[in-house]
A and B are shown apart, each in its own frame.
Chain A
Amino acid sequence: MPGSSTASTCPSEGRYQRRDLDETSKDSCPPRVVLSEGTTAEGAEPVDHTDFTAAVDRHYPGLVQRLTLVLHDAEEAKDVAQDAYLRAFQAWDRFDGADARAWLHTIGLRLAFNHLRHRRLWDRWLRSQPRAPSWVMPERVDLWRGIADLRPQQRAALLLSVIDGYTQAEIGRILDAPEGTVASWVAEAKRRLGAALAEELRP
């Protein structure tokens, strides 16, 4: 799995120090948020961030890949994933510790939707781009194009449902959407994807 090896090469910070973003490692690793002596950005009570890396770093490649499909753009996915890590770090003291992956994906997906609102015009250009990226295997080009025709919320809901197996209620909490809306997103995504793939994927 491509992400695993990538994650293992990331430099490990035993303790986060005062913030600074390491540009050289951002392409392959989570952004290094550096905070001195475990203090918070606001100078409030010290918070132990030593386990932040251990908890979330391994989910970084998967988050980038998930956002790549939702945003339909690998480069933008990395931007949003990095931003998600910064937000996660800021909110680390409020994380309940239950499911770091789901928590990280929730932040990342919501940021992705926010990001998409800013680039609607660009999105049209991107979706009009006929060529699939080089990393998409030839046999999955139609699938990639089919995903492009879905709304981003539909893409996210479909992936959370089909790949992750979340219930509609759980997806609703992740995407901050009513359960019925999630159901319609998933159904519509399957229907449109099926149509795009000429009946083959239709359930």
Chain B
Amino acid sequence: MMGDDHLRSELEALERSAPTDLPPRPPLPARRRGPRLMLPAAVTLAVGLLLGILGTQWLDTIRPPGSSGPTASASFSTAPTPTTSPPVTELRWSVDAFLPESGAQPGAIARVGDRLIVTGSDQDGPAAWYSDDGGADWQRASVIGDRGDQRPMALGNVAGNADRLLSLGWVNVGANDADRRSVLWASTDLGTTWERVPDDALPPRLHDIAAGGPGFVAVGNANPSNSGGPDLDPPHAAVWVSPDGQEWERLPDEASFQLSRINSITERDGMLVAVGSHRVGEEDLPTIWRSPDGRQWSRVELSASPGAVESIAVGPDGFVAVGSSTQGGQRAMAWLSPDGATWTSETLDQMAGGVATGAAVNGLGFVAIGTSTQTVDVPGLVWFAPVGGAASQQDIGADVYGLVGTGNRFIGVGHCGPLADCYSHFLVIGRPVTTTRPDASPGLTGDLVGTLHGDADLETGCAWLVDSTGKRWEILWPEGYRIAFPTGRDPVLTGPGGEIVARAGDVVALNGAPPSGLGSHCMVGELFEATRLVGVQTEGVEP
């Protein structure tokens, strides 16, 4: 038996053996390293630090060499992204509160042309918002009726085109959260106004909708009950078509729908592709269905190994379907196809069980979102696979509910969750990091050029620039400019009009000089008194 004395001696010995002077780490790209002194509170730094520090030091020990799976380029695309050169291999994520004053609870996001549409609910019921400037400013959409309804209700996935949009939402019709039935809202003004589609013609258990075929196609469960309860077991899928979203026709029951569950549907170049699972014997196999018109469907099982496809997204180079394989433990998977006919698979998570539940695609590659099936206290999982590269897990530190790819960004909505330091619903933006760009961009000139960093916990919140030599500068900003921490985590630099000028990780060029006789407040580095903001360069191309 070992008592306190022995425990003390053992702990003392262990503590005394701890190094106080470690050899330096292997050199890392400056962009990914970040300042070593300050605590990396900003989420925007987390991706870089996780990949740069943990990735370099820990990830390599966790992942067997060469185990990161086949590349996404096998049949997807090897074409260079049209917006950046060299190809982007890394994303930087920034998180901002989503309309915190509105009590907004965004649940899904869609892009129609240049407009972003977020759907969900707020304290008064179903709600939607739209942005015409890439997510910087949001306007509340008008939701006709339903506001003030006592039943929990929310708008959800959006499909359609400029002439007519549908949002597939839900209303709670029972005592439990699971007692939901499908609800549709329609918009003919690009999501500025939403009006409820009468329920009487609406299937109760829809999983997803897409524009295509005769107008719109919906997939769901064949269970005719209006109770809104869980899908029947064994599964039995059904497909409905509608010319306008108002009147729906259920397609005749096909053999391919029986013992199947269809979770998601999308359309590209006239080809509708639905995804889900099909039961063979005792096991569900990941499955896709294709249709040129929404009425005639053919089924292809993606794998002989059990699993399911949860969601599908479409991008400039093809389809990305995501889900999980349950062969030998659950693992998040992605299936890639240029045409919906031929598919290749990629394992997303290498170290822990997970399931991918959504995806978004743009010219950079694709991002998959999902959850861990092994723990309940890990925020949602996110993976990024650049065009021509393997997927890597991203650290956003929160659950992302919905995600959309724009020209050079991924924009999502979600919730910080109970483990993160913020509790607000958020808008998350993934922007590309070009692998060759140094901290201080050669494209910007000024008396001081550096990358914006910050720490909300230092004093009342401090921000600084790190120049190309790694030196930190505490900035006295030009008149009208100030630093804010809207999420309590990431610093943003706002301009005279209150607009966001730069975010953490952006390169900022200033004119000015170190002042004399002034003391620094944050004590993070030398003081620099800026007289003019010369320019800001966000990482990648898109500002």
Considering the complex, give the chain A residue whose CB is closest to the CB of B12.
Answer: A163
Tell me whether B255 is interfacial, beta carbon within 8 Å: no
Q: Mark B414-433, 1 if CB is under 8 A from A, else 0.
A: 00000111000000000000
Specify which chain A residues have a CB less than 8 angstroms from the CB of B233 in the assembled complex: none
What is the bound-complex CA distance between A202 and B22, given in angstroms?
A: 33
| Of the residues B14, B397, B472, contact of A143 by C-beta under 8 Å | B14
A66 touches B37 (CB 8 A): no
Specify which chain A residues have a CB less than 8 angstroms from the CB of B16 in the assembled complex: 1-3, 65
What is the bound-complex CA distance between A69 and B523, given in angstroms?
A: 27
Tell me whether A98 is interfacial, beta carbon within 8 Å: no
A190 touching B7 in the complex, CB below 8 Å, given contacts A66-B15, A90-B523, A121-B395: yes
B7 touches A162 (CB 8 A): yes
A69 touches B519 (CB 8 A): no
A6 touches B20 (CB 8 A): yes
| Of the residues A43, A61, A64, A136, contact of B14 by C-beta under 8 Å | A136
B54 touches A125 (CB 8 A): yes
What is the bound-complex CA distance between A77 and B19, given in angstroms?
A: 10
Q: How far is the CB of B377 from chain A (nearest CB, A)?
A: 8
What is the bound-complex CA distance between A129 and B57, given in angstroms?
A: 11
A2 touches B17 (CB 8 A): yes
Tell me whether B50 is interfacial, beta carbon within 8 Å: yes
What is the bound-complex CA distance between A135 and B4, given in angstroms?
A: 24
Chain B interface mostly helix, strand, loop or mixed? Answer: loop
A162 touches B14 (CB 8 A): no
Specify which chain B residues have a CB less than 8 angstroms from the CB of A6 in the assembled complex: 20-21
Specify which chain A residues have a CB less than 8 angstroms from the CB of B470 in the assembled complex: 23
Q: Mark A98-137, 1 if CB is under 8 A from B, else 0.
A: 0000000000000100110110111011101101000111
What is the bound-complex CA distance between A114 and B41, given in angstroms?
A: 10
A20 touches B525 (CB 8 A): yes
Tell me whether A54 is interfacial, beta carbon within 8 Å: no
Tell me whether A42 is interfacial, beta carbon within 8 Å: yes
A163 touches B8 (CB 8 A): yes
Tell me whether A49 is interfacial, beta carbon within 8 Å: no
Q: How large is the interface on A (under 10, 10 to 19, 20 to 34, 35 or more residues)?
A: 35 or more
What is the bound-complex CA distance between A131 and B60, given in angstroms?
A: 13
- Total count of chain B residues near the partner, CB < 8 A: 53
Considering the complex, give the chain A residue whose CB is closest to the CB of B3.
Answer: A203
What is the bound-complex CA distance between A21 and B6, given in angstroms?
A: 41
A82 touching B37 in the complex, CB below 8 Å, given contacts A41-B519, A41-B520, A74-B22: yes
- Among residues 66 to 101 in chain A, which have CB atoms less than 8 Å away from a CB atom of chain B? 66, 68-69, 74-75, 77-80, 82-83, 86, 89-90
Specify which chain A residues have a CB less than 8 angstroms from the CB of B1 in the assembled complex: 199-200, 202-203
Residue among A39, A74, A162 with max Cβ neighbours from chain B (10 Å): A162
| Of the residues B11, B13, B22, B40, contact of A75 by C-beta under 8 Å | B22
A60 touches B15 (CB 8 A): no
A42 touches B525 (CB 8 A): no
B62 touches A19 (CB 8 A): no
- Among residues 1 to 39 in chain A, which have CB atoms less than 8 Å away from a CB atom of chain B? 1-3, 6, 18-21, 23, 26-28, 31, 33, 39
Tell me whether B102 is interfacial, beta carbon within 8 Å: no
Q: How far is the CB of A193 from chain B (nearest CB, A)?
A: 7
Q: How far is the CB of A9 from chain B (nearest CB, A)?
A: 9
Q: How far is the CB of B48 from chain A (nearest CB, A)?
A: 13
Specify which chain A residues have a CB less than 8 angstroms from the CB of B231 in the assembled complex: none
A21 touches B472 (CB 8 A): yes
Tell me whether A167 is interfacial, beta carbon within 8 Å: no
Q: How far is the CB of A85 from chain B (nearest CB, A)?
A: 10
Considering the complex, give the chain B residue whose CB is closest to the CB of A9.
Answer: B21
| Of the residues B58, B457, B526, contact of A114 by C-beta under 8 Å | B457
Specify which chain A residues have a CB less than 8 angstroms from the CB of B13 in the assembled complex: 137, 140
Tell me whether A144 is interfacial, beta carbon within 8 Å: yes
What is the bound-complex CA distance between A90 and B61, given in angstroms?
A: 39
What is the bound-complex CA distance between A7 and B25, given in angstroms?
A: 21
A28 touching B14 in the complex, CB below 8 Å, given contacts A21-B37, A203-B3: no
Specify which chain A residues have a CB less than 8 angstroms from the CB of B24 in the assembled complex: 27
| Of the residues B11, B39, B521, contact of A162 by C-beta under 8 Å | B11
Tell me whether B2 is interfacial, beta carbon within 8 Å: yes
What is the bound-complex CA distance between A34 and B472, given in angstroms?
A: 14
Considering the complex, give the chain A residue whose CB is closest to the CB of B421.
Answer: A117
Q: How far is the CB of B256 from chain A (nearest CB, A)?
A: 41
Specify which chain A residues have a CB less than 8 angstroms from the CB of B175 in the assembled complex: none
- Among residues 20 to 73 in chain B, which have CB atoms less than 8 Å away from a CB atom of chain A? 20-22, 24-25, 36-41, 50, 54, 58, 61-62
Specify which chain B residues have a CB less than 8 angstroms from the CB of A120 in the assembled complex: 397, 419-420
A61 touches B20 (CB 8 A): yes
| Of the residues A20, A83, A117, A197, contact of B526 by C-beta under 8 Å | A20
B8 touches A202 (CB 8 A): no
Tell me whether B300 is interfacial, beta carbon within 8 Å: no
Tell me whether A55 is interfacial, beta carbon within 8 Å: no
Specify which chain A residues have a CB less than 8 angstroms from the CB of B37 in the assembled complex: 21, 26, 31, 79, 82-83
| Of the residues A69, A131, A203, contact of B15 by C-beta under 8 Å | A69
A122 touching B14 in the complex, CB below 8 Å, given contacts A6-B20, A21-B37, A163-B8: no
| Of the residues A27, A39, A129, A144, contact of B519 by C-beta under 8 Å | A39
Known: A122-B54, A140-B17. 19 other contacts (CB 8 A): A6-B21, A27-B21, A27-B24, A33-B523, A42-B521, A65-B16, A66-B15, A77-B18, A78-B20, A90-B523, A121-B50, A126-B58, A135-B19, A137-B17, A140-B13, A143-B10, A159-B11, A163-B11, A203-B1
22 CB < 8 A contacts A-B: A26-B36, A41-B521, A64-B20, A68-B18, A74-B18, A86-B523, A90-B523, A111-B39, A114-B39, A118-B39, A120-B397, A122-B54, A126-B54, A131-B61, A137-B17, A140-B13, A143-B11, A159-B11, A162-B7, A190-B7, A200-B2, A203-B1
Q: Which 10 A-B pairs have the closest CB atoms?
A: A28-B21, A68-B18, A65-B18, A61-B20, A41-B519, A64-B20, A201-B2, A162-B8, A43-B519, A65-B15
